[in-house]
Amino acid sequence: MERKDKNYNKKKISKYKDRPKKPKIVESEFIRLNRYIAASGVCSRRQADEFIQKGLVSVNGVVVTDYGTKVGKKDEVKYKGRVIKGEKTIYIIMNKPKDYITSLTDPQGRSTVMDLFKGKVKERIYPVGRLDRNTTGVLLFTNDGDLTTKLTHPKKRVKKIYVVTVDKPVTQSDMIKITEGIQLEDGFISADAIYYYNDREKNIVAVEIHSGRNRIVRRIFEHLDYSVKTLDRVEFAGLNKKNLKRGQWRFLELKEIGFIKMLAGK
Protein backbone atom coordinates (compact mmCIF):
# COMPACT_ATOMS: atom_id res chain seq x y z
CA MET A 1 0.00 0.00 0.00
CA GLU A 2 1.31 3.46 -0.92
CA ARG A 3 2.14 5.62 2.08
CA LYS A 4 0.62 9.10 2.24
CA ASP A 5 2.82 10.39 5.05
CA LYS A 6 4.40 13.68 3.85
CA ASN A 7 7.34 13.46 6.24
CA TYR A 8 8.20 10.04 4.90
CA ASN A 9 8.35 11.35 1.34
CA LYS A 10 10.51 14.28 2.36
CA LYS A 11 12.88 12.01 4.21
CA LYS A 12 13.11 9.66 1.27
CA ILE A 13 13.88 12.47 -1.19
CA SER A 14 16.53 13.88 1.13
CA LYS A 15 18.16 10.48 1.48
CA TYR A 16 18.28 10.10 -2.32
CA LYS A 17 19.99 13.49 -2.75
CA ASP A 18 22.60 12.63 -0.12
CA ARG A 19 23.67 9.44 -1.87
CA PRO A 20 27.25 9.60 -3.17
CA LYS A 21 27.56 10.35 -6.88
CA LYS A 22 28.82 7.66 -9.20
CA PRO A 23 32.37 8.24 -10.40
CA LYS A 24 32.67 9.73 -13.88
CA ILE A 25 33.77 7.11 -16.37
CA VAL A 26 36.63 8.21 -18.61
CA GLU A 27 37.86 6.51 -21.74
CA SER A 28 41.37 6.06 -20.36
CA GLU A 29 43.64 7.71 -17.80
CA PHE A 30 46.58 7.39 -20.16
CA ILE A 31 47.01 8.36 -23.81
CA ARG A 32 49.74 7.88 -26.39
CA LEU A 33 52.53 10.42 -26.20
CA ASN A 34 52.08 11.66 -29.78
CA ARG A 35 48.39 12.32 -29.14
CA TYR A 36 49.26 14.20 -25.95
CA ILE A 37 51.75 16.40 -27.83
CA ALA A 38 49.30 17.07 -30.67
CA ALA A 39 46.58 18.02 -28.17
CA SER A 40 48.90 20.65 -26.73
CA GLY A 41 48.88 22.41 -30.11
CA VAL A 42 52.61 21.99 -30.75
CA CYS A 43 52.23 19.95 -33.93
CA SER A 44 50.42 17.06 -35.62
CA ARG A 45 50.68 13.45 -34.42
CA ARG A 46 52.94 12.55 -37.34
CA GLN A 47 55.28 15.42 -36.52
CA ALA A 48 55.17 14.40 -32.86
CA ASP A 49 56.49 10.96 -33.85
CA GLU A 50 59.40 12.67 -35.61
CA PHE A 51 60.16 14.80 -32.55
CA ILE A 52 60.07 11.72 -30.32
CA GLN A 53 62.42 9.85 -32.66
CA LYS A 54 64.87 12.79 -32.63
CA GLY A 55 64.97 12.78 -28.83
CA LEU A 56 63.30 16.18 -28.46
CA VAL A 57 60.66 14.92 -26.01
CA SER A 58 61.11 13.93 -22.37
CA VAL A 59 58.71 12.48 -19.81
CA ASN A 60 59.41 13.14 -16.13
CA GLY A 61 62.96 14.19 -16.96
CA VAL A 62 63.80 11.18 -19.15
CA VAL A 63 64.18 11.46 -22.93
CA VAL A 64 61.67 9.15 -24.64
CA THR A 65 62.12 7.64 -28.12
CA ASP A 66 59.47 4.90 -27.92
CA TYR A 67 56.36 5.73 -29.99
CA GLY A 68 54.22 3.50 -27.80
CA THR A 69 54.86 5.44 -24.61
CA LYS A 70 51.70 6.46 -22.77
CA VAL A 71 51.36 9.37 -20.36
CA GLY A 72 48.82 10.63 -17.85
CA LYS A 73 47.75 13.97 -16.39
CA LYS A 74 50.37 13.86 -13.62
CA ASP A 75 53.31 13.24 -15.96
CA GLU A 76 55.56 16.15 -16.91
CA VAL A 77 56.07 16.20 -20.68
CA LYS A 78 58.64 18.53 -22.22
CA TYR A 79 59.36 19.43 -25.83
CA LYS A 80 62.76 21.05 -26.35
CA GLY A 81 62.93 21.63 -22.61
CA ARG A 82 59.56 23.41 -22.41
CA VAL A 83 56.68 21.89 -20.43
CA ILE A 84 53.60 21.22 -22.53
CA LYS A 85 50.08 20.31 -21.46
CA GLY A 86 47.86 17.77 -23.18
CA GLU A 87 44.57 19.59 -22.78
CA LYS A 88 41.01 18.80 -23.74
CA THR A 89 40.67 19.32 -27.47
CA ILE A 90 38.38 22.24 -28.34
CA TYR A 91 37.24 23.90 -31.55
CA ILE A 92 36.06 27.51 -31.86
CA ILE A 93 34.79 29.62 -34.75
CA MET A 94 35.12 33.42 -34.71
CA ASN A 95 33.84 36.25 -36.87
CA LYS A 96 37.13 38.14 -36.91
CA PRO A 97 36.82 41.94 -36.72
CA LYS A 98 38.99 44.43 -38.59
CA ASP A 99 42.22 45.80 -37.06
CA TYR A 100 43.12 42.57 -35.25
CA ILE A 101 46.33 40.66 -35.99
CA THR A 102 46.04 36.88 -36.50
CA SER A 103 48.86 36.10 -34.10
CA LEU A 104 49.37 34.89 -30.54
CA THR A 105 51.24 38.09 -29.64
CA ASP A 106 52.38 41.25 -31.42
CA PRO A 107 55.73 42.91 -30.65
CA GLN A 108 54.27 46.29 -31.66
CA GLY A 109 51.52 46.00 -29.07
CA ARG A 110 48.66 45.88 -31.56
CA SER A 111 45.44 44.00 -30.80
CA THR A 112 45.48 40.30 -31.67
CA VAL A 113 42.63 37.85 -32.13
CA MET A 114 43.74 36.16 -28.90
CA ASP A 115 42.73 39.28 -26.95
CA LEU A 116 39.09 38.38 -27.68
CA PHE A 117 39.43 35.17 -25.60
CA LYS A 118 41.04 36.66 -22.48
CA GLY A 119 39.55 35.23 -19.32
CA LYS A 120 37.10 33.07 -21.28
CA VAL A 121 39.09 30.12 -22.64
CA LYS A 122 41.61 28.39 -20.38
CA GLU A 123 43.01 26.05 -23.03
CA ARG A 124 45.93 27.23 -25.16
CA ILE A 125 44.41 27.56 -28.63
CA TYR A 126 45.82 28.63 -31.99
CA PRO A 127 44.29 30.12 -35.15
CA VAL A 128 44.06 27.73 -38.11
CA GLY A 129 45.68 29.72 -40.91
CA ARG A 130 45.70 33.50 -41.06
CA LEU A 131 43.61 36.50 -42.01
CA ASP A 132 45.47 39.78 -42.43
CA ARG A 133 44.76 42.73 -40.18
CA ASN A 134 42.17 44.37 -42.46
CA THR A 135 40.39 41.15 -43.45
CA THR A 136 37.30 40.10 -41.51
CA GLY A 137 35.29 36.89 -41.27
CA VAL A 138 35.50 33.20 -40.50
CA LEU A 139 38.52 32.12 -38.44
CA LEU A 140 38.88 28.71 -36.81
CA PHE A 141 40.75 28.13 -33.54
CA THR A 142 41.77 24.86 -31.90
CA ASN A 143 44.45 23.11 -29.88
CA ASP A 144 44.25 20.11 -32.22
CA GLY A 145 47.65 20.30 -33.90
CA ASP A 146 46.95 17.32 -36.14
CA LEU A 147 43.78 18.88 -37.56
CA THR A 148 45.47 22.26 -38.02
CA THR A 149 48.27 20.72 -40.07
CA LYS A 150 45.84 18.87 -42.31
CA LEU A 151 43.44 21.78 -42.89
CA THR A 152 46.28 24.09 -43.86
CA HIS A 153 48.10 21.62 -46.12
CA PRO A 154 47.79 22.54 -49.84
CA LYS A 155 46.93 19.00 -50.93
CA LYS A 156 43.69 19.07 -48.90
CA ARG A 157 42.41 21.93 -51.10
CA VAL A 158 40.20 23.28 -48.31
CA LYS A 159 37.67 25.69 -49.81
CA LYS A 160 37.46 29.29 -48.68
CA ILE A 161 34.91 31.85 -49.87
CA TYR A 162 35.62 35.57 -49.72
CA VAL A 163 33.34 38.52 -50.46
CA VAL A 164 35.46 41.25 -52.05
CA THR A 165 34.48 44.90 -52.48
CA VAL A 166 36.68 46.85 -54.90
CA ASP A 167 36.82 50.44 -56.15
CA LYS A 168 35.16 49.83 -59.53
CA PRO A 169 32.99 47.28 -61.36
CA VAL A 170 34.72 43.94 -61.95
CA THR A 171 34.63 43.15 -65.66
CA GLN A 172 33.66 39.78 -67.10
CA SER A 173 37.03 39.54 -68.82
CA ASP A 174 38.87 39.96 -65.52
CA MET A 175 36.64 37.36 -63.88
CA ILE A 176 37.62 34.94 -66.64
CA LYS A 177 41.31 35.76 -66.04
CA ILE A 178 40.92 35.06 -62.32
CA THR A 179 39.39 31.60 -62.93
CA GLU A 180 41.78 30.68 -65.74
CA GLY A 181 44.73 31.86 -63.70
CA ILE A 182 47.25 34.69 -63.51
CA GLN A 183 50.98 34.83 -62.81
CA LEU A 184 51.98 36.56 -59.59
CA GLU A 185 55.47 37.17 -58.20
CA ASP A 186 55.33 33.96 -56.18
CA GLY A 187 53.77 31.76 -58.87
CA PHE A 188 50.64 30.91 -60.82
CA ILE A 189 47.26 31.18 -59.12
CA SER A 190 43.65 30.63 -60.12
CA ALA A 191 40.33 30.79 -58.30
CA ASP A 192 37.89 27.89 -58.25
CA ALA A 193 34.97 30.23 -58.97
CA ILE A 194 34.02 33.91 -59.01
CA TYR A 195 30.61 35.56 -59.32
CA TYR A 196 28.82 38.82 -58.56
CA TYR A 197 27.64 38.81 -54.96
CA ASN A 198 24.35 40.49 -55.90
CA ASP A 199 22.56 41.74 -59.03
CA ARG A 200 22.95 45.44 -58.24
CA GLU A 201 26.60 46.08 -57.41
CA LYS A 202 29.20 44.87 -59.90
CA ASN A 203 32.05 45.96 -57.65
CA ILE A 204 31.22 43.25 -55.09
CA VAL A 205 32.15 39.67 -55.97
CA ALA A 206 32.42 36.32 -54.21
CA VAL A 207 35.59 34.34 -54.79
CA GLU A 208 35.98 30.62 -54.06
CA ILE A 209 39.61 29.62 -53.66
CA HIS A 210 41.59 26.87 -51.93
CA SER A 211 45.04 28.50 -51.83
CA GLY A 212 46.34 29.59 -48.45
CA ARG A 213 49.12 31.81 -49.77
CA ASN A 214 49.69 35.11 -47.97
CA ARG A 215 47.20 37.90 -48.90
CA ILE A 216 46.38 35.94 -52.06
CA VAL A 217 42.91 37.41 -52.75
CA ARG A 218 44.08 40.99 -52.28
CA ARG A 219 47.08 40.39 -54.54
CA ILE A 220 44.95 38.89 -57.29
CA PHE A 221 42.80 42.02 -57.52
CA GLU A 222 45.71 44.42 -57.10
CA HIS A 223 47.46 42.63 -59.98
CA LEU A 224 44.45 43.49 -62.15
CA ASP A 225 44.50 47.16 -61.04
CA TYR A 226 41.65 47.02 -58.53
CA SER A 227 41.84 48.57 -55.08
CA VAL A 228 40.33 46.30 -52.42
CA LYS A 229 38.05 48.25 -50.09
CA THR A 230 36.80 45.38 -47.92
CA LEU A 231 37.59 41.67 -47.75
CA ASP A 232 35.39 39.32 -45.76
CA ARG A 233 35.83 35.54 -45.50
CA VAL A 234 32.32 34.09 -45.30
CA GLU A 235 33.26 30.39 -45.37
CA PHE A 236 36.18 28.20 -44.38
CA ALA A 237 36.14 24.39 -44.57
CA GLY A 238 32.34 24.42 -44.75
CA LEU A 239 32.00 26.65 -41.66
CA ASN A 240 30.27 30.04 -41.83
CA LYS A 241 29.74 32.94 -39.42
CA LYS A 242 25.96 32.78 -39.27
CA ASN A 243 24.55 34.54 -36.16
CA LEU A 244 28.01 35.77 -35.14
CA LYS A 245 28.60 39.51 -34.99
CA ARG A 246 32.07 40.94 -35.54
CA GLY A 247 34.33 39.85 -32.70
CA GLN A 248 31.96 37.16 -31.46
CA TRP A 249 32.87 33.47 -31.29
CA ARG A 250 31.38 30.13 -30.25
CA PHE A 251 32.39 26.51 -29.73
CA LEU A 252 31.70 24.22 -32.66
CA GLU A 253 28.88 21.72 -32.42
CA LEU A 254 29.67 18.01 -32.53
CA LYS A 255 28.36 17.63 -36.08
CA GLU A 256 30.58 20.53 -37.22
CA ILE A 257 33.62 18.96 -35.58
CA GLY A 258 32.83 15.67 -37.28
CA PHE A 259 32.51 17.40 -40.64
CA ILE A 260 35.85 19.23 -40.53
CA LYS A 261 37.61 16.07 -39.32
CA MET A 262 36.09 14.14 -42.21
CA LEU A 263 37.18 16.92 -44.58
CA ALA A 264 40.70 16.74 -43.22
CA GLY A 265 40.70 12.95 -43.48
CA LYS A 266 41.40 12.63 -39.78
Question: For residue 182, what are the β-bridge partners?
Answer: 189
C-alpha 6/C-alpha 74 separation (Å) is 49
Residue among 149, 157, 145, 126 nearest 237 (CA)? 157
Angle at 237 between CA 233 and CA 242, to 5 degrees: 55
Bridge partners of residue 36, in order along the sequence: none
**Active site includes 132?**
yes
What sign does the dihedral 174-178-181-182 (CA atoms) show?
positive
Specify the 3-state DSSP secondary structure of 146: helix
208 strand-pairing partners: 161, 193
Q: How many C-beta atoms surround the C-beta of residue 40 within 10 A?
A: 21
> Catalytic pick from 18, 66, 75, 132?
132
CB 160 within 8 A of CB 213: no
Q: Catalytic amino acids?
A: 132
